[in-house]
């Protein structure tokens, strides 16, 4: 029996502590997905609770056709997007023009990666730039690089085609690099 099957069986059997274990295993992923989509900590915390309550209610419907993480991710993504729709907040950005500016200032030439990573100011600036990315881009880039989900898993969780996920990831990293170059240009 896989780990997913074991935990699902335990929760469905009403084993004490089983659902708490399930939450602990998946809460980071759910938090990253919901917080990156919604960007409001209080709302995101409430929504995370909703996600797990829904997971509990619908666990019988889980058919092991994907990993449990992917299935829970899908619930989280649906909860977050429904929240944004209810609040009439656009979560898909139409900023198609960002790829135009592919000529960099090359301000990063000769910069030291270790030194840059140790530069708290620069890392704070980059964190702020991540926050400024369109909701879907910052979510996908977080799921891919922080949660280390594969493209296929992200596509399954979000319902987006794999090519679209790759495209959003490319654009997010591209945009962040542009912001980095701009920042280094300012610092130089």
Partner 1 sequence: MNKFDATEREARLQAAAEQAERNDLPVGDAELDAYRLVIRAVREAAMPGLPEDFARRVSVRISPTADQASFEDGMVTLLLLGMALGGGGYFLPRFWPLLASLPLRLPTMNLPAVSWHWIVAAGLAISLAWLIDRFWHEHHGAMPA
Among 89, 116, 164, 182, binds partner 1 (CB under 8 A): 116
Min CB(54)–partner 1 separation in Å: 11
Q: What is the 3-state secondary structure (H, E, C) of the chain?
A: CCHHHHHHHHHHCCCCCHHHHHHHHHHHHHHHHHHHHHCCHHHHHHHHHHHHHHHHHHHHHCCCCCCHHHHHHHHHHHHHHHHHHHCCCCCCCCCHHHHHCCCCCCCCCCCCHHHHHHCHHHHHHHHHHHHHCCHHHHHHHHHHHCCCCCHHHHHHHHCCCHHHHHHHHHHHHHHHHHHHHHHHHHHC
Among 8, 35, 71, 160, binds partner 1 (CB under 8 A): 35
Biggest CA pair distance of the chain: 62
96 binds partner 1 (CB under 8 A): no
Residue with tokens 């198609």: 96
24 sits near partner 1 (criterion: CB under 8 A): yes
Alpha-carbon distance of 36 to 83, in angstroms, equals 13
Q: Which is nearer to partner 1, 88 or 100 (by Cβ)?
A: 100
Among 3, 15, 95, 109, binds partner 1 (CB under 8 A): 109
Judged by CB under 8 A, which stretch of 2-10, 68-76, 104-112, 155-163 contacts partner 1?
104-112
Q: Which stretch binds partner 1 (CB under 8 A): 44-52, 79-87, 90-98, 154-162?
A: 44-52
Structure tokens at 146: 């922080």
For partner 1, the closer CB: 21 or 74: 21
Minimum gap (Å) between residue 105 Cβ and partner 1: 11
Q: Which residues bind partner 1 (CB under 8 A)?
A: 14, 16-17, 19-21, 23-24, 27, 31, 35, 41, 45, 48-49, 52-53, 56, 60, 99-100, 102-103, 106, 108-114, 116-117, 123-124, 126-127, 129-130, 141-142, 145-146, 170, 173-174, 176-177, 180-181
């Amino acid at each position: 029996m896989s780990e997913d099957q074991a935990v699902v069986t335990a929760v469905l059997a009403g084993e004490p502590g089983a659902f708490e274990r399930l939450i602990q295993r998946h809460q980071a992923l759910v938090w990253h997905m919901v917080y990156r989509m919604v960007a409001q900590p209080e709302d995101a915390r409430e929504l995370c609770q909703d996600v797990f309550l829904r997971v509990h209610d619908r666990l019988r419907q889980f058919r092991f056709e994907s990993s449990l993480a992917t299935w829970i991710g899908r619930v989280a993504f649906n909860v977050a997007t429904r929240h944004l729709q209810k609040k009439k907040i656009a979560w898909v950005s139409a900023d198609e023009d960002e790829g135009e500016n592919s000529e960099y200032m090359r301000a990063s030439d000769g910069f030291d990666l270790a030194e840059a990573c140790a530069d708290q100011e620069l890392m704070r600036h980059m964190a702020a730039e991540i926050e400024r990315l369109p909701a879907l881009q910052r979510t996908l880039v977080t799921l891919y690089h922080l949660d280390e989900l594969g493209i296929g898993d992200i596509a399954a969780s979000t319902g987006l085609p794999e090519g679209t996920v790759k495209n959003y990831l490319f654009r997010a990293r591209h945009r962040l690099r542009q912001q980095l170059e701009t920042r280094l240009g300012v610092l130089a």
